[in-house]
Structure 1
Amino acid sequence: MSLRRAVAAPFRQRGVDRMNESEFVVALSLDRDWFSPDQAKRLVDVATGEGLLDRDGDDIVATFEVGTVDVPDDFVPDESVIQERSVFEQVLESVVDTGVEKQDAVADINRLQSELAITIEAAAVLYARRQGVDVAGLAANARSEL
């Protein structure tokens, strides 16, 4: 399940792109009953680490257009969204969020990696860019891991 959707839901519910971190935690843990308060705080840390949120004092600010993220009424995030993910996993999710089938993306990324003799992260970034997916921040992360 999508970390971006889980992060967007509280902002969309309130019609804002900035809120107090404690309000965000309450929205995820009490209002939606998706996570415990500790897990919701962990989600903030993971989303901040992946560039989806910025901290500004006691507030958190979405770094993406939350209104463009579809959050179906029956959406419930899996607990895996609160785990830190590799650059490859982050890029793959970004590509899949655009409608590309995950299995197809993985196969194409693996093919690029093999053909170009590059890391899986570099192949994923190249594939995403060829698909028109903006992964500039993740590309910098991939570069730093080289």
Structure 2
Amino acid sequence: MDELKYVAAAPFKRNEGSSMLPQDFEFSLSFDLKWMTPEQASRILDIALNSHLLYMEDEHLHPAFDPSTVDIPRGFIPSKDILQQVTLVDQILEYIASCSNMDLKQVVSLVNNRHENLSGMVDVEVAALIIGREFGCDMDKFYEKVLQNVSING
């Protein structure tokens, strides 16, 4: 998680802001820092959002932590392994996309909208379970994992 937090913090530390547009975050990772391709930066954004390190509010990206408290090691470059992380919410989203024959981006959008409509009162995993059920997907295999995740995180 430290590596992902370093990557998530870097664009905010570089731009000294508390929020930015998602495309500015991706631009910073790929072109300013030259750490990855734009496609990889987009994937990192998804991973950081799903890991609750970042969140969206009013179409702007915000860190869920204080970036100024993150000391990124000198010469830090993220490993290729960081792109291989598959979070629980990623698993749920991919399952819903497969079950409903919808595009993954559409599923992500629906889940994010539901999460925002619920004012963030439930974890994104719970919002994903709700969307999955609405589309008739059998979400039973995820309930225990989501319950454990919710219990651990809050």
**TM-score interval, normalised by the smaller of the two chains:** 0.5 to 0.7
User: Residue 141 of structure 1 corresponds to which residue in structure 2?
Assistant: 149
TM-score normalised by length of structure 2 = 0.54
Say which SS state the counterpart of residue 42 (structure 1) adopts: helix
Deviation of residue 139 (structure 1)? 8.6
- How do 1:1-146 and structure 2 match up within 5 A? 2-85=3-86, 140-141=148-149, 143=151
Detail structure 1 runs of 4+ shifted over 3 Å in the superposition: none
Q: Supply the distance in 2 between the matched residues of 1:68 and 1:74 (Cα, whole angstroms).
A: 18
Q: Which residue identity is paired with 1:12?
A: K
Deviation of residue 17 (structure 1)? 2.2
Q: CA contact under 8 A between 1:12 and 1:67: conserved in structure 2?
A: yes
How many residue pairs end up in the alignment? Answer: 94
Tell me: CA distance 1:79–1:58, structure 2 relative to 1, closer, same or farther (3 Å): farther
Greater length-normalized contact order (CA 8 Å, ≥ 6 residues apart): 1
**Alignment identity in percent?**
30
Q: Supply the distance in 1 between the matched residues of 2:57 and 2:72 (Cα, whole angstroms).
A: 25
Q: Supply the distance in 1 between the matched residues of 2:30 and 2:14 (Cα, whole angstroms).
A: 14
Q: Supply the distance in 2 between the matched residues of 1:86 and 1:19 (Cα, whole angstroms).
A: 23
Q: Supply the distance in 2 between the matched residues of 1:28 and 1:139 (Cα, whole angstroms).
A: 33
Q: Supply the distance in 2 between the matched residues of 1:85 and 1:69 (Cα, whole angstroms).
A: 23
TM-score normalised by length of structure 1 = 0.57
What CA RMSD, in Å, does the superposition of the two structures yield over aligned residues?
A: 2.5
Deviation of residue 142 (structure 1)? 6.5
Q: Which residue identity is paired with 2:73?
A: P
User: Residue 93 of structure 2 corresponds to which residue in structure 1?
Assistant: none
Deviation of residue 16 (structure 1)? 1.4
Say which SS state the counterpart of residue 20 (structure 2) adopts: strand
Deviation of residue 80 (structure 1)? 1.5
Q: Which moved more, 1:78-87 or 1:47-56?
A: 78-87
Q: CA contact under 8 A between 1:46 and 1:83: conserved in structure 2?
A: no
Deviation of residue 35 (structure 1)? 0.8
Deviation of residue 57 (structure 1)? 4.0
